[in-house]
Amino acid sequence: MTATVPPRLGLRANIAQFSLLVAVNALVGGMLGQERTVLPLLAQRVFGIEAFTAALTFIAVFGGVKAVTNLAAGILSDRIGRKPVLVAGWLVGLPVPFMLMWAPSWDWVIAANVLLGLNQGLTWSTTVIMKIDLVGPERRGLAMGLNEAAGYVAVAATALATGAIATHAGLRPEPFYLGVAFAALGLGLSTIFVRETRAHARHESAGAPADAGPSVREVFARTSLRDRALSSVSQAGLVNNLNDGLAWGVFPLFFVAHGLSVGRIGVLAALYPAVWGLGQLATGALSDRWGRKWLIVAGMWLQAGAIALIAAGTTFGLWTLGAVLLGAGTAMVYPTLLAAIGDVAAPNWRASAVGVYRLWRDSGFVAGALLAGALADRLGAAAAIGWVAVLTALSGVVVAVRMPETHGRVRTR
């Protein structure tokens, strides 16, 4: 009888599958990017929605669904495997671009964002988990940097492309043709070429006590509150995505009010995730050398300064600088938070911990849409953006005071 060859851990040993998953996550990001420039303008110009709070309902719905789906994706990935969850996410995402193209009312846009939230929660979560499985403990920060870079560079490129298309062809349907291509390619690659990685996680935990790990309730409690590192990471993730919800929903309308064209808004909408995405190629690897904690703190404070600059700015040049700094701060934080989760959570409950973290992180979309929308309607967009800058600075203080360094930490089981 031929002995079963155990899976090998490491980036080099798994470069083909890892690269494929990077490409798949770029397509996941493209699905999100198709909305970044066009949808806030669609709410205002096509459906006549003027109030910030009402216009941002699509972000709140998207974020709420994605947050809950992240948790489910992590739990299901531990129980039934990663690949089935990934394929299911692409099946759910197929109708989204068609619904956005032909929506007869804003309710259809909201429904499309329910499906987009499901798509993003299932697909992005599993690509994160699968890359952590493949690379093992040594290059986790680099792996998360590559994963998030692929996703957010695709967000940026698609936001820029849809802005350019909308300038020449209108807000619908042409900008959403890209989403059709992304969904078809993502489903095909995930179904045919992606391989299951749960055996890699089991191999990493070989020699550890053979137990099922903590219960879902215990993982939720540790990640949300009890573990100082995991809970600090979760709150920082929430505030980070609150900022992203602000950039997605409020910034385009803020820029329109100052007379910017759709093309220039598309440039700003693309610049922030482009710097964010490309920056993660460096920051993920740096967190493997320098540690996680102070990179997160510095990133949150840089984001706070960038948001304050955008709120105070009145020119395209200042907003461009603010978008660059916001992207740089986000790049410092995003892969580092995920790497910290991988540092602390043992392989037998890691996917569930990632799911809980991403539940809290993507709840930031809901908080951002509701908080920024309410403040903008009451105080004006500039004041709303300024208050979010204050909240972001305070989040960095929480990490500085409460979070221990996690790089090299011995895991609890």
Residue 335's nearest CA partner among 263, 233, 239 is 233
Percent of the chain with pLDDT over 70: 94
Which CATH code fits 15-203+212-402?
1.20.1250.20
Residue 402: pLDDT over 60: yes
* Six token digits for residue 384: 């709303």
- Rounded Cα distance between 132 and 335, Å, is 12
Burial of 192 (0-12, 13-18, 19+ CB in 10 A): exposed
237, 149, 311, 388: CA torsion to nearest 10: 0
Residue 273 to residue 240: CA distance in whole angstroms = 13
132 contacts 358 by C-beta, under 8 angstroms: no
**Bridge partners, residue 345, by sequence:** 412
Query: What is the per-residue pLDDT for 212?
Result: 58
pLDDT tens digits along 37-90: 888 888 888 888 876 776 678 888 888 898 889 888 888 988 899 999 999 999
pLDDT at 51: 64
What is the pTM (predicted TM-score) of this model? 0.78
- From residue 96, give the alpha-carbon distance in Å to each of 162, 181, 293, 377: 15, 12, 38, 29
One-letter amino acid at 329 equals: G
Identify which has the larger pLDDT, 333 or 245. 333
Q: How many whole angstroms separate alpha carbon 137 and alpha carbon 341?
A: 11
**How many C-beta atoms surround the C-beta of residue 12 within 10 A?**
9
Tokens of 186: 């993502």
Between 252 and 308, the more confident residue is 308
pLDDT-based confidence at residue 5 (cuts at 50, 70, 90): low
Q: What is the pLDDT of residue 2?
A: 46
pLDDT for 275: 92
Query: What is the pLDDT, as a whole number, of residue 1?
Result: 42
Helix (H, G, I), strand (E, B) or coil at 3: coil
Q: What is the pLDDT of residues 280-303, one digit of tens each?
A: 888 888 888 888 999 999 999 999
Q: What is the mean pLDDT of residues 387-404?
A: 95
Tens digit of pLDDT for each residue in 120-129? 999 998 998 8
Rounded distance, CA 145 to CA 112, Å?
29
Average pLDDT over residues 259-274: 85
Angstrom distance (rounded) from CA 213 to CA 129: 17
Extract the runs of DSSP E, i.e. beta strands, from 265-323.
none
